[in-house]
């Protein structure tokens, strides 16, 4: 059998070389009639399948599985196609009986795909579009749509930047093209373009909301990602980062279908960062204390005991005197705490959804209600979401159609402040693992004192228990539309859409988790002494925002096939769009007056303000889709956008695109190469825009406050312009070329597509230097460019068919990112840093935010010192400190010795899905990963900086540090007591590869349908899922290589987000049930 296949393959190659001759020979033969039976994956006959002779109009449709087609030549190729099944392509080769088994498509249920402002037959799509099979969302428990996209589509990089449940992921399509304008795509739900969110650029979190917040993934029917410029160009000034089209489920005429989808499970931390344990921490504390003791008291000895030291120092100073209990057996009175274990738990997950759909020819409906409740794996974390959706479509007459989509949702997130610098998780890593036993897990909290050898940090457990951070979000998405057929083929459609989000965030920090309580200095701010006001250090905030996006769209479409061969689809449209954002912030001032009431009416005083912004976008657009003989396709579009966000001189911009597609296998000569069952070529070009300015009014000369002192004296208000107005300010532009190839070989057993793209972003919104005579050092202008070049491959192979089915889907993306130009004459911008000296750079010829630090060569030895090895900060470095590379050879290590050592974005991303089906069982496994990027860990500054001192904890590998010249350790960490590093420099000791590989999902399902009577239960399935259960990464002293939670750059024009203590991602085990009545 195998041999047979092999022979057939060889024959195919043979045919390929002698194709013309042979095909001429064969075509001379007589017509045949072919019959056969078509079955589905279960072996049942399949009616309604289209059987066509490729390259001709000869076709028929199967009836209950049997078919008969006449007028077939021996060298013809038969195509068997049916919605939802993989197309089969079989050469006739003199056979008169051809039986076919069709497989359920792994890719998509429909051969119609959603494109901007309409749908199109997949065959005719000329641009680069990736489709996501949303059926997987029913089979796999996900909390957010962006989570479902991880590892699924070539060219779409989804980063999970935080492990907090319910929080948005970061999505990037084809690399980062913008330095300051954000790189998140435009999301369009059921034709409604949501507002683009760019607020993630500075610290990686979506503090003013994300377009996918509260969207229930179970309502999603399909997701298409428009990747190249031609596909996305119809969205003009917002499309340069790609467009994600989301279609929600709607009802079909017929019997009502009730679907129940429920799952429960638990989640826990997917990774733990091993920190030093109590004994290891004590060992380094003693080492540092002895060193400090000898520096302060040069005549003392490290072997001095407690009493000697106490007498010499005069008081119990933790810097010079170790805790005597450390060396006593069993360390009485002390408790060893693994803080990660202390704050983590198994969190319960549950989700219940009921949906109903159905309808008549006149009215179709889809209704759903969903409840999700997810306890985070850290104490105090919780996410609850309630969502409802109603999609109703009414055929009022033959010509008139109305529809209404409405989706009210509500979510509550509880997060006392886990991720980020000095936030709880960071402190759980840093805090000393040795504490007073009497305080339990609550040192320096409430009436508990600080353990004096530990730091002044309040217990992370205390903060998780008593601090409150709640985000309540009520969001309603609504669309109302009407469609009227003016004449046959000509339709007018109008829609009104509103997206309203009301978000309220409150925080409350009681006095019991603030302040330092030191038993030695007898300060305890949390004990009432008769006159002190304990509540003075209680604080609270109330922040709210309302984001409204309103869109009215009006389109005319004309659809016609002329003289059989020419299909034409013409679109013209106009849209009006506004975004309004209102926010308010109130915070307590001077503490609280009540220990019970948490709302701000109990605050001693409050400060607050409100601000609002608004922007308007007006657009005209038009598109032509043209197909000739279902073989050649052309698409051309143009959009004209006017935006209030831009300078008065450049309010309107034009975004053209064009693309071509040739279905090569429709050509007769391809019949000679039957091994190639499908071959399509695509080329496209287009220009898109990015309108993410720093704010809605960036082109205007707003006023800032510049006070002065006059009079008695007193402060007086002064106001002057604080921005250099730029009436020419406009969008960033991206110009993309794309060449694509879709193919299927071996009777479509292997199908796939390959794309090469070259995307040049120009006119970047950058702050450029201007002569100071303008009154400003810099101004926002459209200047500079970034190029992304990449290749994408998507491949599906049906390895085994029949009773046991096995298919593999692979996607691989390679992207290179390079800054082509900054301002004229400018070669680089070093990104200013709020924590250390800078660690990232924008340099022409290198990727955005390249990591720019000193290179650590190893650790200094005594010989290095005598050899005058270049040292940092003059001569203060000693043996056991880092040896840096003196790249400019000037004999001293300075900022000028920094070099580019990596870049944040991965070069390669990939996802591999294997699916198995046997009888009623199904098993799928998604493996996903990335390679080639680096992470510069700001967390390193907290837990592994040179000279960190005795109290904060280090990673467990710190035990392999430098101890002495003869015991230099493994070289990664220098000595425990070091004094040179002030200010802290940025060097490669905090540089890690961001490569990782994760088994994102393993799902085992069992189809229960046969247990029920078909009349009552149409479908039933139970499943187990392991989500994110296995994986490996190279971020050895951090938890999530994709983490972003802290603003690193101090200049908003050059954002840089970093990881300063991210919690790990969650892994979960879930049991689910899905029944359709």
Which of 254, 775 has the CB closer to another protein?
775
Which of 96, 613 has the CB closer to another protein?
613
* Angstrom distance (rounded) from CA 656 to CA 58: 38
CA nearest to 1070, candidates 192, 263, 131: 263
Q: How is residue 876 written in tokens?
A: 């203060």
- Least Å from the CB of residue 698 to another protein: 10
Cβ atoms of 746 and 665 closer than 8 Å: no
* Angstrom distance (rounded) from CA 187 to CA 226: 10
Q: How is residue 586 written in tokens?
A: 């109130």
DSSP letter for 450, please: P
- Least Å from the CB of residue 713 to another protein: 5
- Least Å from the CB of residue 616 to another protein: 4
Q: How is residue 115 written in tokens?
A: 């494109």
CA nearest to 175, candidates 185, 161, 163, 167: 185
* Angstrom distance (rounded) from CA 765 to CA 235: 20
Which of 487, 562 has the CB closer to another protein?
487
* Angstrom distance (rounded) from CA 833 to CA 839: 7
- Least Å from the CB of residue 471 to another protein: 23
- Least Å from the CB of residue 949 to another protein: 17
- Least Å from the CB of residue 914 to another protein: 51
- Least Å from the CB of residue 701 to another protein: 4
Which of 132, 872 has the CB closer to another protein?
872
Which of 135, 640 has the CB closer to another protein?
640
Helix axes 19-27, 2-17, angle to 10 degrees: 100
List of residues 6+ apart from 11 with CB closer than 8 A: none
Which of 408, 642 has the CB closer to another protein?
642
Coil, strand or helix: which one is 405? strand
Which of 10, 827 has the CB closer to another protein?
827
Spacing of C-alpha 392 from chain mean position: 32
State the chain's maximal CA–CA distance in angstroms: 113
Which of 96, 612 has the CB closer to another protein?
612
Helices (H), 28-72: none
Residues in contact with another protein by the rule CB under 8 A: 486-487, 492, 552, 554, 556, 574, 576, 578, 610-616, 618, 620, 642-644, 648, 651, 696-697, 700-703, 705-721, 724-726, 769-777, 779, 781, 824-826, 874
Which of 697, 908 has the CB closer to another protein?
697
Host H or E run for residue 41: none
Which of 118, 380 has the CB closer to another protein?
118
- Least Å from the CB of residue 347 to another protein: 40
What is the Cα Rg of the chain in Å? 33
Coil, strand or helix: which one is 160? coil
- Least Å from the CB of residue 938 to another protein: 23
- Least Å from the CB of residue 516 to another protein: 15
**Distance between start and end Cα atoms, the chain:** 43
- Least Å from the CB of residue 188 to another protein: 21
Which of 12, 616 has the CB closer to another protein?
616
- Least Å from the CB of residue 73 to another protein: 47
Which of 495, 915 has the CB closer to another protein?
495
Which of 303, 712 has the CB closer to another protein?
712
Q: Is 486 exposed, middle or buried (0-12, 13-18, 19+ CB in 10 A)?
A: exposed
CA nearest to 429, candidates 1068, 938, 63, 865: 938
Which of 530, 824 has the CB closer to another protein?
824
Which of 693, 1057 has the CB closer to another protein?
693
φ and ψ at 674, to 5 degrees? Answer: -65, -20
Q: How is residue 852 written in tokens?
A: 């720019």
Positive or negative, the CA dihedral 39, 40, 43, 45 is negative
- Least Å from the CB of residue 582 to another protein: 8
- Least Å from the CB of residue 649 to another protein: 11
* Angstrom distance (rounded) from CA 488 to CA 194: 32
Which of 272, 399 has the CB closer to another protein?
399
Q: How is residue 776 written in tokens?
A: 């400003």
Coil, strand or helix: which one is 978? coil
- Least Å from the CB of residue 727 to another protein: 8
Listing DSSP states for 102-151 in one string gives: --B-SS-S-SEEEETTEEEEGGG--S-EEEEETHHHHHS--SSHHHHTTT
Q: Is 52 exposed, middle or buried (0-12, 13-18, 19+ CB in 10 A)?
A: middle
Q: Is 264 exposed, middle or buried (0-12, 13-18, 19+ CB in 10 A)?
A: middle
Cβ atoms of 893 and 899 closer than 8 Å: no
Listing DSSP states for 168-207 in one string gives: PPEEEESS---SSS--PPEEEETTEEPPPP-TTTTTSS-T
Which of 562, 709 has the CB closer to another protein?
709
- Least Å from the CB of residue 728 to another protein: 8
Cβ atoms of 885 and 914 closer than 8 Å: no
Host H or E run for residue 291: helix 278-296
DSSP letter for 457, please: P
- Least Å from the CB of residue 494 to another protein: 9
Angle at 617 between CA 613 and CA 621, to 5 degrees: 170
Which of 700, 1073 has the CB closer to another protein?
700
- Least Å from the CB of residue 625 to another protein: 21
Host H or E run for residue 135: helix 135-139
């Amino acid at each position: 059998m195998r041999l047979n296949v092999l022979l057939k393959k060889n024959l195919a190659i043979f045919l390929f070389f002698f194709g013309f001759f042979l095909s001429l020979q064969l075509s001379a033969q007589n017509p045949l009639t072919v019959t056969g039976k078509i079955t589905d994956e279960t072996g049942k006959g399949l009616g309604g399948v289209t059987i066509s002779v490729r390259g001709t109009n000869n076709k028929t449709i199967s009836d209950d599985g049997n078919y008969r087609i006449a007028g077939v030549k021996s060298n013809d190729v038969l195509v068997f196609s049916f919605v939802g099944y993989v197309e089969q392509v079989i050469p006739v080769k003199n056979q008169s009986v051809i039986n076919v088994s069709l497989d359920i498509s792994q890719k998509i249920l429909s051969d119609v795909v959603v494109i901007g402002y309409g749908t199109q037959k997949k065959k005719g799509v000329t641009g680069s579009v990736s489709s996501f099979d949303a059926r997987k969302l029913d089979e796999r428990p996900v909390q957010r749509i962006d989570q479902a996209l991880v590892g699924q589509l070539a060219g779409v990089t989804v980063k999970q930047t935080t492990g907090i449940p319910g929080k948005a992921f970061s999505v990037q399509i084809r690399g980062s093209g913008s330095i300051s304008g954000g790189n998140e795509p435009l999301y369009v739900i059921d034709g409604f373009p949501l507002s683009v969110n760019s607020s993630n650029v500075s610290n990686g979190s979506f503090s003013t909301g994300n377009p996918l917040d509260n969207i229930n993934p179970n309502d999603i029917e399909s997701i298409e990602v428009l990747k190249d410029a031609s596909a996305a160009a119809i969205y003009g000034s917002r499309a340069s980062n790609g467009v994600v089209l989301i279609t929600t489920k709607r009802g079909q005429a017929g019997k009502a279908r009730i679907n129940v989808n429920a799952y429960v499970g638990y989640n826990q931390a997917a990774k733990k960062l091993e920190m030093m344990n109590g004994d290891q921490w004590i060992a380094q504390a003693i080492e540092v204390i002895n060193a400090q003791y000898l520096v302060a008291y040069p005549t003392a000895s490290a072997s001095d005991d407690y009493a000697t030291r106490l007498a010499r120092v005069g008081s119990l100073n933790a810097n010079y005197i170790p805790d005597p209990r450390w060396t006593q057996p069993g360390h009485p009175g002390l408790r060893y705490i693994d803080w990660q274990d202390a704050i983590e738990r198994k969190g319960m997950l549950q989700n219940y959804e009921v949906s109903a759909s159905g309808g008549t020819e006149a009215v179709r409906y889809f209704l759903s209600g969903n409840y999700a409740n997810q306890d985070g794996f850290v104490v105090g974390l919780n996410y609850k979401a309630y969502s409802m959706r109603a999609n109703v479509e009414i055929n009022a007459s033959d010509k008139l159609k109305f529809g209404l989509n409405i989706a009210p949702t509500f979510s509550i997130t509880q997060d006392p402040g886990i991720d980020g610098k000095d936030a709880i998780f960071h402190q759980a890593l840093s805090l000393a693992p040795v504490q007073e036993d009497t305080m339990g897990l609550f040192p320096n909290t409430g009436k508990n004192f600080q353990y004096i050898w530990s730091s002044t940090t309040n217990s992370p457990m205390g903060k998780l228990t008593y601090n409150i951070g709640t985000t309540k979000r009520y969001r309603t998405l609504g669309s109302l539309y009407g469609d009227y057929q003016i004449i046959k083929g000509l339709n007018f459609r109008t829609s009104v859409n509103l997206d309203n989000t009301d978000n309220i965030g409150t925080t409350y920090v009681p006095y019991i988790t603030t302040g330092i309580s030191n038993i030695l200095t007898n300060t305890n701010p949390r004990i009432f002494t008769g006159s002190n006001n304990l509540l003075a250090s209680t604080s609270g905030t109330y922040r709210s925002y309302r984001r409204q996006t309103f869109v009215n769209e009006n389109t005319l479409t004309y659809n016609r096939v002329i003289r059989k061969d020419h299909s034409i689809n013409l679109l013209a449209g106009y849209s009006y769009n506004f975004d309004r954002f209102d926010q308010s912030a109130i915070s307590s001032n001077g503490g609280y007056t009540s220990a019970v009431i948490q709302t701000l009416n109990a605050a001693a005083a409050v400060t607050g303000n409100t601000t609002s912004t608004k922007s308007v976008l007006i657009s005209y657009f038009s598109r032509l889709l043209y197909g000739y003989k279902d073989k050649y396709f052309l698409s051309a579009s143009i959009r004209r956008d006017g935006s209030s966000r831009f300078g008065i001189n450049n309010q309107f911009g034009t975004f053209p695109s064009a693309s071509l597609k040739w279905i090569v296998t429709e050509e007769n000569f391809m019949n000679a190469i039957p091994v190639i069952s499908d071959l399509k070529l695509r080329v496209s070009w287009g220009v898109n825009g990015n309108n993410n300015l720093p704010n809605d009014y960036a082109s205007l000369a707003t006023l800032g406050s510049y006070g002065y002192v006059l009079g008695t004296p007193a402060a007086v208000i002064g106001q002057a312009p604080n921005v250099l107005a730029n009436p020419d300010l406009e969008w960033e532009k991206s110009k993309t070329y794309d060449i694509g190839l879709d193919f299927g070989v071996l009777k479509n057993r292997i199908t796939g597509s390959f794309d090469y793209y070259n995307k040049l972003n120009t006119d970047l919104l950058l702050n450029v230097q201007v002569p100071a005579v303008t009154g400003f050092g810099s101004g926002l202008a459209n200047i500079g460019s970034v190029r992304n070049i990449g290749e994408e491959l998507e491949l599906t192979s049906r390895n085994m068919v029949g009773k046991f089915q096995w298919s593999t889907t692979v996607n691989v993306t390679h992207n290179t990112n390079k800054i082509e130009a900054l301002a004229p004459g400018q070669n680089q911008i070093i990104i200013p840093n709020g924590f250390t000296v800078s660690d990232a750079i924008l340099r022409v010829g290198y990727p955005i935010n390249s990591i720019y630090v000193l290179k650590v060569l190893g650790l200094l030895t005594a010989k290095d010192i005598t050899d005058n090895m270049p040292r940092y900060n003059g001569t203060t470095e000693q043996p056991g400190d880092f040896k840096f590379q003196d790249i400019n050879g000037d004999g001293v290590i300075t900022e000028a010795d920094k070099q580019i050592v990596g870049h944040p974005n991965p070069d390669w991303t990939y996802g591999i899905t294997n699916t198995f089906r046997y009888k009623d069982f199904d098993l799928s496994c998604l493996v996903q990963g990335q390679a080639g990027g680096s992470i510069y860990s700001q967390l390193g500054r907290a837990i592994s900086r040179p000279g960190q001192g005795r109290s904060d904890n280090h990673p467990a590998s710190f035990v392999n540090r430098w101890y002495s010249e003869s015991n230099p350790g493994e070289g990664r960490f220098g000595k425990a007591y070091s004094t040179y590093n002030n200010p802290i420099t940025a060097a490669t000791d905090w540089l890690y590869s961001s490569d990782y590989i994760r088994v994102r999902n393993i799902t085992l399902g069992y189809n229960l349908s046969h247990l029920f009577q078909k009349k009552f239960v149409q479908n039933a399935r139970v499943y187990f899922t392991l989500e994110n259960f296995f994986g490996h990464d190279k971020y050895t002293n951090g938890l999530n290589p994709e983490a972003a939670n802290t603003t690193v750059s101090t200049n908003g024009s050059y954002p840089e987000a970093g990881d300063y203590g991210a919690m790990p991602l969650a892994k979960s085990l879930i049991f689910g049930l899905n029944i359709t009545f």
